[in-house]
Amino acid sequence: MAPLTAIALSGGIDSAVAALRLKAAGEKLLALHFITGHEPADRMADHHGRLERLAARLGVALAVIDCRGAFQREVVDYFVDSYRLGRTPNPCVRCNARIKFGVVLQQALALGASRLATGHYARKERDAAGRFHLYKGIDRRKDQSYFLARLTQDQLQRAVFPLGRLTKAEVQRQAAEASLMGRPGRESQDICFVPRGDYAGFLTGTGRLTAAPGPIVDVHGRQLGRHRGLHAFTVGQRRGIDCPGPAPYYVVRIDAARNTLVVGSPTDLMAAGCRVSDVRWLQPPVADTLRVSVRLRYRSAEQPARVTIETGPAATVRFDAPLAAVTPGQCAVFYRGEEVLGAGWIESSLAS
């Protein structure tokens, strides 16, 4: 009997074309759609109807997985608690490791599938020793290897990325040729569970975070004004500081212990490196010190750096040239050329 592959079907064009390509390759498919509990209630019925029609068009059975409890614990609570601690979280990295390739993968296995496919733009290969390697998608503007960098070997072993060797334009063309979707809309850049991108409103609305006004100081400790709550800021931010000065101020540091916002000039934002915790290596490091390219946010450019591996598992990253706005809570992803080596969470910056 042919092995069963599950496809995480969101209703969007990428997962639809991923399913289409697997069907064309002769794969036996089961479509899985997971509910987070943060879908717009007034659109749930319409969305489920579209999913059913899409699954029928693809010729696959559709199962709905209730992830509301796990999503709240693993993603939403993490998101809110990070801001409460003065950090800027990355819920998409967290969701891929804990929900899509955690809860959803386990449900897929329980339903008889041996693998889980998604619409991510990334590539995977297996070497002669049986280890799996994660690579960037060939469409550099859509590459999503950054969001997958904290998968384990076991998770990567069961992952399938049918779009890794396609561009977005090719995906749109294949969807149109198969009449899978209507006219594609603009892709949202917002976090899926934050309505209209209103982070501050969402955070205070959860009841887990209370906006607490406090001082705004410069890097020398001189008070410049007052903020309405640290949750409204991230390192590198300029808007919303509202302190008059000879030049614009930028957020340099968020001191949650003292409820203080530290601001300064662009020069004050520069860092020589960062400390990283909970490092997860997809490939075992070959030495205690590695030359890598590091990406500190999804949309930031990779930068050459030296990583020194410490216990914990932790690491110290030193950039070849100083970088601006190194942000605690974000994910530092280490690359060697096209390949993802590993990733960890930024704890603090190193002074330049």
Catalytic residues: 95, 192
Give me the residues paired with residue 166 across strands.
none
Cα–Cα distances (Å) from 209 to 72, 77, 86, 229, 293, in that order, read 15, 10, 11, 10, 36
Alpha helix (H) residue ranges in 25-167: 44-58, 68-71, 77-84, 91-95, 105-110, 153-157
344, with CB counted inside 10 A (0-12, 13-18, 19+), is: buried
Whether cis (ω within 30° of 0) applies to the bond prior to 184 is no
Beta bridge partners of 64: 33
Residues 6+ apart with CB under 8 A from 130: none
- Name the residue among 258, 238, 230, 263 with its Cα closest to residue 329: 230
Distance, in Å, from the CA atom of 60 to the CA atom of 55, rounded to the nearest integer, reads 5
List b or e across 150-169, with b for residues whose CB sees 16 or more CB atoms inside 10 angstroms. bbebebbebbbbbbbebbbe
CA 91 – CA 76 distance, rounded (Å): 8
Q: What angle do CA 61, 62, 67 make, to 5 degrees?
A: 150
Contact assessment for residue 333 and residue 302, using Cβ atoms and an 8 Å cutoff: no
Lookup result for tokens 């590993």 = 342
| CA distance linking residue 48 with residue 43, whole number of Å | 9
> What's the rounded Cα separation, in Å, for the pair 100 and 116?
9
The Cα–Cα gap between 339 and 119 comes to 19
Distance CA 31, CA 342 (A): 29
- Residue 7 structure tokens: 């496809």
